[in-house]
Structure 1
Amino acid sequence: MCSARRMLQQALRVSGRTASPVLKWMERCAEGAGAVCPPRRARTLEEMPGPSVLSFAWDLFGKRGLSRLHELQLEGRRKYGPMWKASFGPILTVHVAEPELIEQVLRQEGKHPMRSDLSSWKDYRNLRGHGYGLLTAEGDEWQSVRSLLSTHMLRPKAVEAYDGTLNSVVTDLIAKLRTRRRQDPRGVITDISAEFYRFGLEGISSVLFESRIGCLDSSVPMETERFIQSINTMFIMTLLTMAMPGWLHQLFPKPWNTFCQCWDYMFHFAKGHIDQRLQEEAEKVARGEEVEGRYLTYFLSKTGMPMKSIYSNVTELLLAGVDTISSTLSWSLYELSRHPDIQTSLRAEVHAVLEGRSVPGAADVARMPLMKAVVKEVLRLYPVIPANARVIADKDIHVGRYLIPRNTLITLCHFATSRDPGHFPDPNSFVPQRWLTRDQGNHAYASVPFGVGKRSCIGRRIAELEVYLALAQILTQFDVKPDPEGSAVRPMTRTLLVPDSNINLQFVER
């Protein structure tokens, strides 16, 4: 690398061109590949920059507190560079905010990648005697469930089979939007995220149970509404309970008790639907009828998986995909309403592909490049999970210039990398066109909203299909415009990235 650098300097000096941009690129490539020139001693965590304990505590609990965790990524990158450390109580975290370095971490994570220890989630399951699901299990247990579910949730052909089920839910969504817009003389639907949240839950439930739970009914069943509220409250309490040492739960029991009550109801809700569906199947078998289910609970039940594990996995799958769908749809229509030219182009693409048909299928979506670019851009700007984490348990690893000891919590700052002007020019603007050129040159790890590798989101294909099908039908039936009396909406962190105020949109019948 050093000799190549000197040769390049010489050649460019002779040609009269500046070597600086190319040399910087070579240096970045060398650091990303783990090469050094000349060899240098690996730096320790003690030498890594970062805020003091008091400064970090103030950042977390002052200035809008935990709701601005995504913004702290940008501030940390600006103050300390692509890697920095921060401590809160006994927990030390290494933050990584450069795609090349994130790639280094993920390529060293081993056979059984570990996320951050969702300690409060696991503590609850241990307290109640529940099993672990895909989001909480580790090691061989996680690998077994992941391999089983990937057959039905990641293979494109398997996912395409759900388009009919999901389209029936989209039809109900369109009817609900029409009802809501008629309730306002301007056709404004307030808090559109709440409607899309119910739509997402109804869609995921249809895939899991092959039955409906009433999220889009004119009057949502009380038990379904309570389940929705339990998910929302649980995510808010997750940050708080994980930040509190265990002994504080005794002094301030309310957050932990609320957290447990939410999980209690979520498990109760999922168990009720699982038991009902399996009972229906058993009754059919008893009558000598043929049973053939396409829903995921049916597949899980046929594997011999213990019911304790089925309850845990289905409960976690129910909550895992809903926010992705709700957030992506809400931000997509928010941005499209403010960019009518892009909305018009996307609508034209949908019409051209459908050729007079009103309901798209999975195969149609494959021929909608602008649709996919819009969703990619929305997920770049508003990643549902603004940061991911890893714990490399079995070995020390080298990342950039540092040696990271085993069992260190490493936060992968996806919000910071996806808003980095070095990778995305004009990073805070909505520009779907940036995804339409093959030679865009973005680093593969600069925007990874669903994660990468074995720990990537297992429900991403189903969630994306549900979003594509919904957007296609919404745009062919409505012009979507900003609320005339509305204002700009910003993201905030509530474990997940969510709008900091209601997204209100005007729907005009076409």
Structure 2
Amino acid sequence: MTELSAKYGPVYKEKIGPLTHVVISDPLEYVKRIPTILTPEGFLPNLELELFKWAFESIGTFLFEERIGCLDHTPTRDADEFLKHLIGFFKYMQPLMYNLPIYKFYPTPTWRKYEYHADKVIENGMKFINKKVAELRAAGPDIFEGETVSLLTHFLSLDNVTIEDVNSHTLDIMMGGVETTSNATLWTLYMLAKTPSAQQTLYNQLAQVVPNKADVTAENLAHLPYLKGCLKEAFRFVHIDNHSLIEF
């Protein structure tokens, strides 16, 4: 976007803002509510959907520099729509990927549904992009001078990049990160539940490095080698691209 790059310069580095800590704390509130939402049989309903929403909120907040809102107790209509169409995108992408590619020759019903949800995801992403563009234009030419800024602002500062390009790149990153993150978390939790001794060891390390109500930071993550080991072990058993079938 030449208009913005003339104001904000061509080179910026990404940084994670304070919103990230808020997103991290949201699952903790969900954990506190678990005893109140268990089924009579003691099962936790819709855990896969909750993890998908958390991954979407986390990655979306980082990419769009704004909360999506799907983890709120009363999500906004826009947040619900974005989430619904993102789930639909993944749902109808799977049969297109793994079945005969008839859609390349004839627009099958599955292809039409996939195309519909993909268009809606692009439309919802563009709302966030346009809002950020308006904020940057209103902020003035010198507000970020000498500072590092986030990834989206960096994208918008590049020459020869349209708003549509920025939206496409941002959504590509989101598509690659949301389902893989939620699947990885789900299977890691499953593996830990199957191995109580490993779960206890991880809990002890977390309690020591990240005490109650402390923020999770890059610095203390570096002191959690057992957590990293648990993730790698889960990945060894189950590929993180093992697609889910979440219903919304």
TM-score bracket, normalised by the shorter chain, equals 0.7 to 0.9
Q: State whether residues 209 and 224 of structure 2, in contact with CA within 8 Å, keep that contact through their aligned partners in structure 1.
A: yes
Deviation at 1:319, TM superposition (A): 1.8
Picking from 348, 363, 388, the partner of 2:219 is: 363
Aligned ranges 1:237-252 → 2 under 5 Å:
237-241=92-96, 243-246=100-103, 248-250=105-107
- The amino acid across from 1:277 in the alignment is K
- The amino acid across from 1:196 in the alignment is L
The gaps in structure 2 that reach 5 residues or longer are 1-9
Summarize the Cα distance change of 1:267–1:185 in structure 2 as closer, same or farther, 3 Å threshold. Answer: closer
Aligned ranges 1:8-407 → 2 under 5 Å:
161-162=15-16, 164-184=18-38, 188-241=43-96, 243-246=100-103, 248-250=105-107, 253-285=108-140, 290-291=143-144, 294-304=149-159, 305-354=161-210, 358-385=214-241
Post-superposition CA distance 1:257-307 (Å, at most 9, x none): 11111111010000010101110221122xx87246733211101112222
Q: State whether residues 382 and 497 of structure 1, in contact with CA within 8 Å, keep that contact through their aligned partners in structure 2.
A: no
- The amino acid across from 1:224 in the alignment is A
Cα distance in 1 between the residues matched to 2:224 and 2:135: 39
Q: Could you say which structure has the greater relative contact order, defined with CA pairs below 8 angstroms and 6 or more residues apart?
A: 2
Greater gyration radius:
1
What secondary structure, in the 3-state scheme, does the structure 1 residue paired with 2:243 have? strand
Q: State whether residues 92 and 114 of structure 2, in contact with CA within 8 Å, keep that contact through their aligned partners in structure 1.
A: yes
- The amino acid across from 2:71 in the alignment is L
Deviation at 1:213, TM superposition (A): 1.3
2:243 matched to which residue of 1? Answer: 497
Cα distance in 2 between the residues matched to 1:357 and 1:220: 25
Summarize the Cα distance change of 1:163–1:368 in structure 2 as closer, same or farther, 3 Å threshold. Answer: farther
Cα distance in 2 between the residues matched to 1:235 and 1:354: 34
Cα distance in 1 between the residues matched to 2:17 and 2:27: 15
Deviation at 1:180, TM superposition (A): 4.4
Structure (1 or 2) with the greater helix fraction = 2
Q: State whether residues 179 and 243 of structure 2, in contact with CA within 8 Å, keep that contact through their aligned partners in structure 1.
A: no
- The amino acid across from 2:207 in the alignment is H
RMSD over aligned Cα atoms: 2.9
Higher mean displacement: 322-331 or 222-231:
222-231
Q: State whether residues 206 and 295 of structure 1, in contact with CA within 8 Å, keep that contact through their aligned partners in structure 2.
A: no
Higher mean displacement: 180-189 or 266-275:
180-189
Q: State whether residues 164 and 361 of structure 1, in contact with CA within 8 Å, keep that contact through their aligned partners in structure 2.
A: no
The gaps in structure 1 that reach 5 residues or longer are 1-147, 153-157, 386-495, 503-510
Q: State whether residues 57 and 71 of structure 2, in contact with CA within 8 Å, keep that contact through their aligned partners in structure 1.
A: yes
Cα distance in 1 between the residues matched to 2:39 and 2:118: 40
Summarize the Cα distance change of 1:334–1:163 in structure 2 as closer, same or farther, 3 Å threshold. Answer: farther
Q: State whether residues 184 and 235 of structure 2, in contact with CA within 8 Å, keep that contact through their aligned partners in structure 1.
A: yes
Structure (1 or 2) with the greater strand fraction = 1
Summarize the Cα distance change of 1:197–1:245 in structure 2 as closer, same or farther, 3 Å threshold. Answer: same
Cα distance in 1 between the residues matched to 2:175 and 2:112: 20
Summarize the Cα distance change of 1:356–1:262 in structure 2 as closer, same or farther, 3 Å threshold. Answer: closer
Higher mean displacement: 338-347 or 225-234:
225-234
Deviation at 1:229, TM superposition (A): 2.6
Post-superposition CA distance 1:210-254 (Å, at most 9, x none): 21011110122233223223223323333434523356525xx31
Summarize the Cα distance change of 1:180–1:226 in structure 2 as closer, same or farther, 3 Å threshold. Answer: farther
Q: State whether residues 215 and 224 of structure 1, in contact with CA within 8 Å, keep that contact through their aligned partners in structure 2.
A: yes
Aligned length: 232
